[in-house]
Amino acid sequence: MAKRLWLLFAQIVTVFLAILFVIATLKPSWLNGSPFATATNAVVSNDTSNDSATLNPGSYHDAVKRSMPAVVNVFSSKNANGATEPTPEPKNNQKKRNKPKKPPQPNTQEEWFNFFFGDPNQQAPSDEPEFNTGSGVLVSKDGIILTNHHVINGADSIEVALGDGRKTKARVIGSDPDTDIAVLKIDLPNLPQPVTLGDVDSVRVGDVVLAIGNPFGVGQTVTSGIISALGRDHLGINTFENFIQTDAAINPGNSGGALVDTRGNLIGINTAIFSKTGGSIGIGFAIPINLAKQVMESIVANGSVTRGWIGVEPRDISTEVIQAFKLPKNAKGVLISGVLKNGPAEKGGVKAGDLLKEINSKPIDDVRGLLNNVAALLPGSDAKLLVERAGENVTLNIQIGKRPLQEQKK
């Protein structure tokens, strides 16, 4: 008898728990205030399929939600009948920026770098205005926008379109062709939240990144990838190069847009791609935000970027240079092949044929290193150069000059 009663009790409890589970799953509101609510919530807590606020595994929605409103579309136009030099239309560019407009020679580096605005061999009719499309990033509530110099270079009119549909004219505060950074200003009320600037020093190869921009003018678009490399230089894109390389798809129109991390922080300004077709093949380059910020702050404060300069013609050490100038086989540094008359270097005693080895005790390994080290020095300051001349080390003191501004197209 006792066994039958125990079996009946077990069946009743089982049915009761089954009913409770069904109610907790389908109508949890019926249990609000019930002593069973806590227990049943624990039972169903692992089921988040009906929670609209829960992201899918691997989703970067939060990062996009934080950063995308700050990414804008930039439209520049140029009157062909004005005194300005024509700017190519947004087609596949087979030539590097800011170079004389002649067809590239086969098998040269120029064939491989496709920058985002124009084939110099396919000009628009001279009686029609020309238009460029790019992207930009809002970095302050005051309406300061970072973009690329080549996006707005030579433009007569610049218009910015926000993600909320508003459009407005933008003015150029300044630009720096040497780093391909331009700073714009718009005046609109209730601007979106500016993007948060990230820390490039914490970025590592292999980190996931998102590229946000307006590729091919189709509208705001997000692509994802990883950081493929850091500190890319010697590419012949800009005078000063320290690129972040990524395989996130970057296409024409992304230029000037945002490269953000998975928290939505801005870590780079998308600039160029390596491609034979003009489309992305997984090799894109972005200007690190620390460099872009430095240039922006200088432009906002002074209207331009001030860099150091010594007035020399340097050459990297190679086997040919060693043989031609009869240098030691283990020669290190940069060969000074020419010195500008009355320039800082000549006034300080630098001579053609000197092997420049150090600046302020910092070793100089190549022309790029020389350029970056000198550019970082304050014009008017003194610098100590170590050169090798006729097999002997010579220390020279020179006063750093101001780097001449690169001529900009109008």
CA distances from 177 to 2, 20, 66, 76, 106 (A): 93, 70, 30, 17, 26
Of 98, 52, 354, 86, the closest CA to residue 236 belongs to 98
255 is catalytic: yes
Q: And the tokens for 398?
A: 């020179």
- d(Cα 361, Cα 395) in Å, to the nearest integer? 11
Please identify which of the residues 255, 275, 280, 298 carries the catalytic annotation: 255
- Per-residue 3-state assignment (H helix, E strand, C coil) for the chain: CHHHHHHHHHHHHHHHHHHHHHHHHHCHHHHCCCCCHHHHHHHHCCCCCCCCCCCCCCCCHHHHHHHHHHEEEEEEEECCCCCCCCCCCCCCCCCCCCCCCCCCCCCCHHHCEECCCCCCCCCCCCCCCEEEEEEEEECCCCCEEEECHHHHCCCCEEEEECCCCCEEECEEEEEECCCCEEEEECCCCCCCCCCCECCHHHCCCCCEEEEEECHHHCCCEEEEEEEEEEEECCCCCCCCCCEEEECCCCCCCCCCCEEEECCCCEEEEEEEEECCCCCCCCCEEEEEHHHHHHHHHHHHHHCCCCCEECCEEEEECCHHHHHHCCCCCCCCCEEEEEECCCCHHHHCCCCCCCEEEEECCEECCCHHHHHHHHHCCCCCCEEEEEEEECCEEEEEEEECEECCCCCCCC
Of 180, 247, 261, 354, the catalytic one is 180
Q: Which residues are catalytic?
A: 150, 180, 255
